[in-house]
């Protein structure tokens, strides 16, 4: 072990080189191991950052093997570390697969811990309450609660991810999990057996703790999940999928008033009042007033939306009834707080409920006033709920403050972090201007295995006919390949048009058309891989994190350049900030954002050394406008085809090679 305690030696880099060598422990543990120079460059840089307790930002293209590149030095260093990922599923992959596999291969004894937010863990106290007083909407919810009760008797971790088939949108989940507001803390009768506290204890005793970005920032703001206590004790903090870090921070470091939180409060108020103080206050009326205020706030914020939508604060605050809805919410919360004050000594639930009521009233009054000059407000809408958010525009101040604490290595990595050598798209908003940056291209042979085609004579991307033209291009590609095609759209409106047109044109072709929203994302991907004779049409969440290796996917069609929507309130505020500083928002922000998103979408095409395919970008601006050269340079180095005949010849060649022709 090259590093012990606080004594740093110069043995870590040679140990890392030995681990990745052709005859090293990784090769011995995996017959398919391939030695990659770019992976070793990455790993050495991580080793140096650990030894010097410095900041490192690495963009690593597809195929570099970034997960092993940062985990191997961490494990060999013997130092305590925090690893943060973008999603819970990536957390589980690191904790359940990658880390144990590497620790075994390297013969390194290590204690691992997985730490998630409260909503991921069963609360035994609230489960008991749900048994007694839950009002469940349907038989599915009744059966789900019964499954949770049965599982609760056998689980060790209390992590709801163990319960296969439990829909994350189930109304049962908020009934059997706690929040920072409704947790009774040490007053809880189940305190000694609490799964959340057990997870925190495990984390504080572990060598490597795996968290996610949302939890990281939410805990820095609220100090509720243990990360804030854990962070000063680690020697290295690693952030994978770091391109999502700034947005996660902006969302979770901000102040939020959510109608869903008000509805949850009303439900808990009614349950506790009827259980512990029936008849002492008009609990049904008080809860109904809060519930009604939450629903009025949602209705006053805007009409129906599909999925979710972000609205500018100025648009929503000007709507008739919005100010009145905020005032009604404050009044309803005040009324509940006053009633709870009269029964505060009867049960530990009541003081917590009173704190929640006062907090909701305070937030309602805060959002009724003006926002500070250095912060931006916006409104997130879904079909049922509304979130009012006030936040800073980036995470600079937070990250600078965190790095000013106990010295440690800070390591950030992703496949896409910017389109310049300094990776300023990421380092600027993250306050990492002084970090060492490293940009590592993919080891895959894009020049031999991939092609780029930009159809020249399509309607302008803003025209109504554009989406239909995209569908026609995708149809021709899919018919040559026999399916095996993704279509990525920049808007849900375009997704609908493209999907409908493809269904009509391919109805008698024997090719499937799979569309985002028809089934859960994972189910759609499983269907596509099992029967790749089809076209999968997706937007937003399908631009990244999708891994379809092999010849199941050989063509990716992108409808237009993914510039950020100019009417998005965060986009508007960031553009104004840049322009006020005398710089070009279009060059510094819009083009940079488009470059990162375009690279993410293009990254779906080639996933292994042997993959081959065609990237189609249905936006002539990529070849006709001056900034197009910058966007093309951000893509992997694949040859640009001149016309459709060349594109179809390439696809015909791919199909023939695949089918043995």
Query: Is 60 exceeded by the pLDDT of residue 141?
Result: yes
Give Cα 68 distance to the centre of its chain. Answer: 21
Chain segment 174-190, per-residue pLDDT in tens: 889 998 888 888 889 99
Contact 480, 511 (CB under 8 A): no
Q: At what angle do helices 396-403 and 245-253 cross, to 10 degrees?
A: 100
- Residue identified by tokens 């590609």 is 477
Q: How confident is the model at residue 426 (pLDDT cuts 50, 70, 90)?
A: very high
Banded pLDDT at 77 (limits 50, 70, 90): very high
CB within 8 A of 91, min separation 6: which ones?
A: 85, 114, 116, 210, 211, 212
Pick from 494, 412, 571: nearest CA to 82: 412
Q: Which domains does the chain have, with CATH numbers?
A: 12-110+207-247+397-440 (3.40.50.300), 118-196 (no CATH), 255-391 (1.20.1440), 446-658 (3.40.50.300)
Distance of CA 54 to the CA centre of its chain: 26
Lowest mean pLDDT, pick from 38-42, 226-230, 622-626? 226-230
From 16-25, 35-44, 157-166, the region with the lowest mean pLDDT: 157-166
Work out the number of other CB atoms within 10 angstroms of the CB of residue 461: 19
Query: Whose CA is closest to 421, among 58, 55, 53?
Result: 58
pLDDT tens, 512-562? 999 998 988 888 999 999 999 999 999 988 998 888 999 999 999 999 999
Percentage with pLDDT > 70 across the chain = 98
pLDDT at 134: 63
pLDDT confidence tier of residue 5, bands split at 50, 70 and 90: very low
Mean pLDDT score across all residues of the chain = 92
Share of the chain above pLDDT 90, in %: 77
The 3 state secondary structure assigned to 515-563 is ECCCCCHHHHHHHHHHCCCEEEEEEHHHCCCCCCCHHHCCEEEECCCCC
- Higher-confidence position of 294 and 232: 294
Instruction: Give burial (CB, 10 Å; 0-12/13-18/19+) of 428.
Output: middle
pLDDT confidence of residue 3: 38
pLDDT of 2 > 50? The answer is: no
Q: Determine the pLDDT at residue 372.
A: 86
One DSSP character per residue, 342-387 reads TTTTT-THHHHHHHHHHHHHHHHHHHHSPPPTT-EEEEEEESS-EE
Average pLDDT on 486-507 reads: 95
pLDDT number for residue 8: 44
Which residues make Cβ contacts (< 8 Å) with residue 319, sequence separation at least 6? 300, 301, 302
Q: Tell me: the pLDDT tens digits for 393-420?
A: 999 999 999 999 889 999 999 999 999 9
**Which whole number is the average pLDDT over 239-250?**
94
Residues 429-468: tens digit of each pLDDT? 999 999 999 999 999 999 999 999 999 989 999 898 999 9
What is the dihedral sign for C-alpha 4, 5, 10, 16? positive
* Cβ-contact 489, 651 below 8 angstroms: no
The pLDDT of residue 184: 86
Q: Is 138 left (phi over 0), alpha (psi -120 to 50) or beta?
A: beta
Least confident of 190-194, 369-373, 498-502, 593-597: 369-373
Annotate 383-417 with b (16+ C-beta within 10 A) or e (fewer).
eebbbbbbbbbbbbebbeebbeeeebbbbbbbbbb
């Amino acid at each position: 072990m090259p590093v012990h305690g606080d004594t740093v030696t110069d043995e870590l880099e040679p140990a890392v080189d030995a681990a990745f060598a052709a005859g090293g422990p990784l090769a011995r543990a995996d017959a398919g191991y391939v030695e990659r120079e770019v992976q070793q460059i990455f790993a050495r840089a991580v080793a140096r950052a650990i030894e010097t307790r410095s900041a490192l930002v690495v963009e690593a293209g597809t195929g570099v093997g970034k997960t092993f590149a940062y985990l191997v030095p961490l494990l060999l260093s013997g130092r305590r570390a925090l690893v943060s990922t973008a999603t819970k599923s990536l957390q589980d992959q690191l904790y359940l697969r990658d880390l144990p596999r590497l620790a075994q291969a390297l013969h390194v004894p290590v204690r691992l811990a997985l730490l998630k937010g409260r909503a991921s863990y069963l609360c035994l106290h609230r489960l008991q309450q749900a048994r007694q007083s839950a009002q469940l909407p349907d038989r599915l919810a009744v059966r789900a609660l019964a499954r949770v009760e049965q599982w609760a008797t056998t689980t060790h971790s209390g992590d709801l991810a163990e319960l296969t088939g439990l829909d994350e949108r189930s109304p049962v989940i908020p009934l059997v999990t706690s929040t920072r507001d409704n947790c009774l803390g040490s007053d809880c009768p189940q305190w000694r057996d609490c799964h959340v506290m057990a997870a925190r204890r495990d984390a504080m005793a572990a060598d490597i703790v795996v968290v996610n970005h949302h939890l990281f920032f939410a805990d820095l703001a609220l100090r509720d999940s243990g990360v804030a206590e854990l962070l000063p004790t680690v020697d290295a903090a690693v952030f994978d999928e770091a391109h999502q870090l700034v947005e996660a921070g902006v969302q979770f470091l901000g102040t939020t008033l959510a109608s869903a939180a008000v509805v949850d409060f009303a439900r808990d108020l009614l349950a506790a009042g009827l259980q512990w103080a029936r008849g002492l206050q008009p609990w049904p009326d008080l809860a109904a007033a809060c519930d009604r205020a939450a629903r009025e706030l949602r209705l006053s914020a805007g009409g129906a939306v599909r999925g979710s939508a972000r609205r500018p604060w100025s648009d929503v605050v000007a709507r008739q009834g919005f100010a009145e809805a905020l005032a009604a919410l404050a009044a309803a919360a005040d009324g509940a707080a006053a009633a709870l004050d009269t029964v505060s000594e009867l049960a530990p639930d009541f003081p917590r409920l009173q704190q929640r009521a006062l907090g909701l009233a305070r937030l309602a009054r805060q959002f009724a006033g003006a926002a500070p000059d250095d912060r931006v407000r916006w409104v997130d809408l879904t079909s049922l709920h509304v979130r009012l958010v006030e936040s800073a525009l980036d995470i600079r101040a937070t990250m600078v403050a965190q790095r000013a604490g106990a010295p440690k290595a800070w390591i950030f990595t992703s496949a896409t972090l910017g389109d310049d050598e300094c990776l300023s798209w990421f380092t600027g908003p993250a306050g990492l201007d002084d970090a060492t940056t490293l940009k590592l291209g993919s080891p895959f042979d894009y020049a031999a295995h991939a092609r780029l085609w930009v159809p020249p004579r399509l309607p302008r991307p803003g025209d109504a006919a554009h989406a239909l033209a995209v569908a026609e291009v995708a149809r021709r590609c899919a018919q040559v390949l026999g399916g095996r095609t993704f279509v990525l759209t920049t808007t849900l409106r375009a997704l609908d048009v493209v999907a409908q047109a493809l269904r009509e044109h391919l109805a008698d072709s024997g090719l499937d058309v799979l569309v985002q929203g028809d089934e859960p994302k994972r189910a759609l991907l499983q269907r596509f891989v099992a029967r790749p004779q089809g076209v999968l049409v997706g937007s937003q969440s399908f631009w990244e994190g999708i891994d379809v290796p092999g010849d199941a996917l050989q063509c990716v069609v992108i409808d237009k350049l993914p510039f950020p929507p100019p009417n998005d309130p965060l986009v508007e505020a960031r553009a104004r900030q840049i322009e006020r500083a005398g710089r070009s928002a279009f060059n510094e922000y819009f083009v940079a954002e488009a470059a990162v998103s375009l690279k993410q979408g293009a990254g779906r095409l080639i996933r292994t050394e042997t993959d081959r395919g065609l990237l189609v970008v249905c936006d002539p601006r990529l070849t006709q406008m001056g900034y197009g050269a910058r966007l093309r340079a951000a893509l992997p180095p694949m040859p640009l085809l001149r016309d459709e005949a060349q594109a179809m010849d390439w696809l015909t060649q791919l199909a023939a090679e695949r089918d043995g022709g």
